[in-house]
């Protein structure tokens, strides 16, 4: 197929005509004049709703920047857990910017860009629970997001923990913690570190249990679209927008995780 396309291009150049570009997601988005982006509004500061019910947060800002670079309006869909992947595969979304860890297993179904953020799994507990180690979760009620890396990790690390599933960590998981209906929760450090600063009754256990690359996810079949998004993320990092956006949501004294541009 590649040889045929090369031959066609050569003939066109001889004839003095241009070869039309093959249609892809970039063309689809421009012709539709809207980009459909899935974001997870399940926890501050990654993604949540403000007092006017508008999507806000770190990921929402990244999604808005993508739409601005594409030159089209953005249509947000709140997604979490397994829905982040399934809605991409089914064609309901163009892009997912939803705090999604780029894992080898997920990469079998979708493509990921280079990381636009990094986070590790952390455990948060009731401050008066006496739980100070991961092993202390044995027999305890622990909130986990359904279909998340935290769920998979805890099933292996502490198989006797009683998992309490939520589709969205906020408000469902946060509410269960605040009402002391559960002993602990496992989630991305980016969410739990922020939560602990806002709730004196909660505290995090020291240490991270992973160091996950957080990538933008798209459906398979369009490598040119992935390349464009990799260039976007590289510019996001190098231009200073990454550091500014991180400190906007985690505070001016926060130290953004090290990210490496590809371009």
3-state helix, strand, coil in the chain (%, to 5): 40, 20, 40
User: pLDDT tens-digit profile of 157-210?
Assistant: 999 999 999 988 888 999 999 999 999 999 988 888 888 888 889 999 988 898
User: Looking at residue 251, what is its pLDDT?
Assistant: 83
Examine the domain organization and report whether 30 and 107 are in the same domain: yes
* CATH number, position 35: 3.40.190.10
Examine the domain organization and report whether 80 and 96 are in the same domain: yes
Task: Quote the CA–CA distance of 44 and 55 in Å, as a whole number.
Answer: 11
pLDDT at 17 over 60: no
Write down the pTM of the prediction.
0.77
Examine the domain organization and report whether 228 and 99 are in the same domain: yes
DSSP state of 82: T
Q: How many domains does the chain divide into?
A: 2
Examine the domain organization and report whether 71 and 113 are in the same domain: yes
User: Looking at residue 23, what is its pLDDT?
Assistant: 62
Residue 258 lies in a domain: no
Cβ pair 232, 26 in contact under 8 A:
no
Residue 261 lies in a domain: no
Q: Residue 112: enclosing H or E segment and its boundaries? A: strand 110-112
Examine the domain organization and report whether 102 and 156 are in the same domain: no
Residue 179 lies in a domain: yes
Residue 109 lies in a domain: yes
Average pLDDT over residues 34-55: 94
User: Which of 49-57's residues contact partners 24+ apart within 8 Å by CB, and which partners?
Assistant: 57/249
Q: Give the domain extent around 94.
A: 24-118+213-250
Examine the domain organization and report whether 96 and 126 are in the same domain: no
């Amino acid at each position: 197929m590649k040889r045929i396309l090369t031959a066609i291009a050569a003939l066109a150049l001889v004839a003095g005509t241009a070869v039309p570009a093959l249609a892809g997601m970039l063309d689809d988005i421009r012709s539709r004049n809207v980009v459909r982006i899935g974001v997870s509004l399940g926890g501050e500061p990654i993604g949540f709703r403000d007092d006017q019910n508008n999507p806000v947060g770190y990921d929402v800002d990244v999604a808005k920047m993508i739409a601005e670079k594409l030159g089209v309006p953005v249509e947000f869909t709140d997604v979490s857990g397994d829905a982040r992947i399934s809605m991409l595969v089914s064609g309901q979304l163009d892009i997912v910017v939803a705090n999604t860890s780029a894992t080898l297993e997920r990469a079998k179904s979708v493509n990921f860009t280079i990381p636009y953020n990094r986070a590790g799994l952390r455990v948060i507990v009731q401050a008066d629970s006496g739980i100070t180690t991961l092993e202390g979760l044995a027999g305890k009620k622990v909130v986990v997001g359904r279909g998340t890396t935290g769920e998979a990790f805890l099933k292996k690390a502490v198989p006797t923990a009683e998992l309490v599933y939520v589709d969205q960590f906020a408000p469902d998981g946060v509410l269960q913690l605040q009402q002391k209906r559960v002993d602990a929760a496992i989630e991305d450090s980016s969410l739990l570190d922020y939560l602990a600063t806002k709730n004196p009754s909660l505290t995090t256990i020291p240490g991270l249990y992973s160091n996950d690359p957080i990538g933008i996810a798209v459906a398979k079949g369009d490598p040119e679209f992935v390349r464009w998004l990799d260039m976007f993320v590289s510019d996001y990092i190098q231009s200073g927008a990454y550091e500014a956006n991180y400190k906007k949501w985690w505070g001016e004294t926060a130290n953004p995780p090290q990210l490496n541009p590809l371009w």
